[in-house]
Amino acid sequence: MSKKNKPWLIFLLTGIFPQNSEIPSEVKTMNISSHTKIIGLFGDPVIHSLSPAMHNAAFSYQKLPYTYIPFHVTPQNLPTAISAIRALNLTGVNITVPHKEKVIPHLNHLDESAVRCGAVNTILNVNNELIGHNTDGPGFIDSLNEVNLNPRGIKAIILGAGGSARAIAAQLAHENAAEIIILNRTLEKAQQISSLLPKVTVFSLQDDYKTAITGANLVINTLSVPFKKEGEWLVDLSSTTGALFYDLRYGNMPSDFLHYAKELNNPGLDGLSMLLHQGARAFTIFTNQKPALDIMRKALVINQPPI
Ligand code: ATR
């Protein structure tokens, strides 16, 4: 028997279940439905990532039907997780450490940004074809532009030779930087990067690099350790007067490296800016829309951890 024949049932139901406009705020759910498009983040770990806060703030502000979810994916589970992008029809995912290189064999195509640095941080699912992009290098350049530093013709020093160093070196070479010098504890790792790129010279931290780095416009710190050890700066940068000291680390206090910039009277910039701009470019790849950059920036600043 239908409700039509039971007016008392309608009365009871409307009494028990509040109308939409009356739903009290404590039982309102997030606006997620089967139409919501899902963006993932695959990494190991992902617990401290600021990307969900940054992207979800912009999706919500711009009223876009997307949600951004971090997934803890171990190296062993990476192939299955990549298959799940197709199986669950995710719009795309961001890729973070330690998967940026290992993910490549699982993709259908690479955009030239990913080819350039041999790593992927953004995957777009186009009708089950997975396209790998890398927004780290272009995002880094956007952050330089924001402080009016044009990379063309500059002399840049990169401290470290991991994945971030490689992406930045490749992008700076692409942008026609005049000279790129990599300083790293393990010389062979720096040489691996210089063997792939033009205009790159390398030194180990034990070499005499002081004269070579004189006149630099930009010094980028990609090291994964604090810049001060037993009261000493890890690298002697005293011959880089006036260079912009760019630390890829971020946090709500200045890092050791930025303290060193201050000691030398050099300008400093932290890694929040690169995080923002690589995220903004990934947002556009996922949604085909320009992001509300100020909203993303606010979300990062509010959520950033102590350094
Ligand atoms: P990512 O890939 O995220 O850029 P990474 O691969 O962990 O980071 O690289 C970190 C960099 O910090 C490396 O260049 C590493 O030097 P090595 O190539 O010699 O390993 C550097 N690093 C790590 N610990 C260091 C330490 N105690 N002193 C000097 N450099 C160090």
Q: Give burial (CB, 10 Å; 0-12/13-18/19+) of 284.
A: middle
168 and 251 assigned to the same domain: yes
Please give the Cα distance from 42 to 196 (Å, whole number): 27
Distance (angstroms) between ligand 1 centre and the Cα of 165 equals 10
Q: Is the domain of 191 the same as that of 221?
A: yes
Mean pLDDT by 10 residues, the chain (307 residues): 58 60 71 92 97 97 97 98 98 97 98 96 98 98 98 98 96 97 98 95 96 97 95 96 96 92 97 97 98 98 85
Ligand 1 pocket test, pick from 136, 157, 158, 185 with the greatest ligand atom count within 8 Å of Cβ, gives 185
Q: Hey, which bits of the chain come out as E strands?
A: 37-43, 66-72, 92-95, 109-110, 122-126, 129-133, 155-159, 179-184, 200-204, 218-221, 228-229, 232-233, 244-247, 268-269
Q: Say which CATH number the domain at 127 has.
A: 3.40.50.10860
Give the strand pairing for 155-159 and 179-184.
Answer: parallel
- Residue 234 sits in the same domain as residue 259: yes
- Asked whether residue 278 is assigned to any structural domain, the reply reads yes
Cα 221 to ligand 1 centroid, rounded to whole Å = 10
Q: Are 59 and 75 contained in the same domain?
A: yes
Report yes or no on 211 lying in a domain: yes
Based on the fold, state whether residues 101 and 159 are members of the same structural domain.
no
* Closest ligand 1 atom, residue 186 Cα: 19
Q: Given this model, what pLDDT does residue 24 score? A: 73
| Paired residues of 133 in beta bridges | 122
- Of 166, 181, 209, 225, the residue with max ligand 1 atoms within 8 A of its CB, to mutate for a pocket test, comes to 225
Nearest CA to ligand 1 atom 12: 223
Spatial distance between the Cα atoms of 142 and 273, rounded to a whole number of angstroms: 9
Catalytic residue annotation? 100
Determine contact, residues 44/99, Cβ cutoff 8 Å.
yes
User: Measured in angstroms, how far is the CA atom of residue 153 from the centroid of ligand 1?
Assistant: 27
pLDDT at 299: 97
On whether residue 142 sits in a domain, the answer given is no
**Residue 107 located in a structural domain:** yes
Kindly state whether residue 23 falls inside one of the protein's structural domains.
Answer: no
CA of 185 to the centre of ligand 1 (A): 8
Domain count for the chain: 2
b/e per residue 50-59 (b: at least 16 CB within 10 A): bbbbbbbbbb
**Measured in Å, how far apart are the chain's first and last C-alpha atoms?**
65
- Indicate yes or no: pTM above 0.85: yes
Co-location of 278 and 294 in the same domain: yes
Q: What pLDDT sits at residue 252?
A: 80
Ligand 1 environment, Cβ below 6 A: 97, 160-165, 184-186, 189, 222-225, 234
Residue 82: Cβ-neighbour burial (10 angstroms; 0-12, 13-18, 19+): buried
> How far apart (Å, rounded) are the C-alpha atoms in residues 84 and 87?
5
Q: For residue 162, how far is its CA from the centre of ligand 1 (angstroms)?
A: 6
Do 178 and 257 reside in the same domain of the chain? yes
Q: Which atom of ligand 1 is nearest to the CA of 97?
A: 3
Taking phi over 0 as left and psi of -120 to 50 as alpha, with beta for the rest, 186 belongs to beta
Are residues 112 and 204 both part of a single domain?
A: no
Domain membership of residue 13 (yes or no) is no
**Domain that residue 249 falls in:** 148-266
Classify residue 254: in a domain, yes or no. yes
Same domain, 159 and 262: yes
User: What one-character DSSP code corresponds to residue 158?
Assistant: E
Crossing angle (nearest 10°) for helices 163-174 and 187-194: 30
Given this model, what pLDDT does residue 32 score? 87
102/208 same-domain check: no
Contact residues for 104 (Cβ-Cβ < 8 A; gap 6+): 110, 114, 118, 119, 120, 132
Question: The domain that contains 236 carries what CATH number?
Answer: 3.40.50.720
Instruction: Name the residue at shortest CA distance from atom 23 of ligand 1.
Output: 224
Q: Is residue 18 part of a domain?
A: no
Ligand 1 atom nearest to CA at 222: 4
pLDDT score of 236: 96
Structure tokens given for 11: 């009365």
Number of the ligand 1 atom closest to the C-alpha atom of 162 = 6
Q: Kindly give the number of the ligand 1 atom that is closest to the alpha carbon of 166.
A: 4
| CA 113 to centroid of ligand 1, rounded, Å | 23
How far is it, in rounded angstroms, from Cα 167 to Cα 46? 20
172 and 248 belong to one structural domain: yes
